[in-house]
Amino acid sequence: MAEPPPRVPDRLPMEWIAASLKRERARAGLSLSELAKRAGIAKSTLSQLEAASGNPNVETLWALAVALGVPFSALVEPPVQSVQVIRAGQGPGVASGQASFVGILLSASPPGARRDIYQIRAEPGSARTAEPHIPGTVEHLIVGTGRVKAGPAGEEVELDPGDYMAYRGDVAHSYEALAPGTTFVLVMQHV
């Protein structure tokens, strides 16, 4: 009997959302009252969200994103790190208030970026080393089957099926299959 998949967290850390809301509201030059009015939510609700309390659903955050004129991802994307790993079943999610639905944003594309998507098949043996790509390149990797060790030189991480990782592709990096039949999706983002 197969084990059930790992449980996906049903909410993002409120500190991320609070910081994003404050940043985007300041960028737009809107008061709490004006943003709440434009989004169709109570000012007290918006105040609580900016104070990192409350439990917003997808619909509330979507309304705020529209009112701010930003993509939904601008409000829920985690703070940027040099190497980002999200283990299978551990990505922060935003639940819907209307259905049994949880969205997990792994990465948002910054303005002006281009992304190339590759499906990779690899077998154990030797690592595939890659020279730095053009400046500003970021690689996103999601493991399908097997195991992979990947990342910038000296910062490699071992990944299992369903794990996600983002790292700089404009520095020397490598990929190494650790199990037979390893597959992964590689997204190269160029700014």
Rounded to an integer, the average pLDDT of 31-52 is 94
pLDDT level of residue 99 (50, 70, 90 thresholds): low
pLDDT level of residue 148 (50, 70, 90 thresholds): very high
In tens, the pLDDT along 124-145 reads 988 888 888 888 889 999 999 9
Pick from 59-68, 75-84, 95-104, 164-173 the range whose average pLDDT is largest.
Answer: 164-173
- Say what the pLDDT of residue 102 is: 65
Q: Supply the mean pLDDT for the chain.
A: 84
∠ Cα 152 155 161 (to 5°): 85
pLDDT level of residue 2 (50, 70, 90 thresholds): very low
DSSP state of 53: -
Examine the pLDDT at 80 and tell me if it is beyond 70: no
- Say what the pLDDT of residue 26 is: 92
Q: Are 136 and 111 in contact (CB under 8 A)?
A: no
Percent of the chain residues past pLDDT 70, beyond the cut? 86
Examine the pLDDT at 149 and tell me if it is beyond 70: yes
- The answer for residues whose C-beta is within 8 angstroms of residue 68's C-beta and 6 or more apart is 24, 25, 27, 28, 30, 35, 74, 75
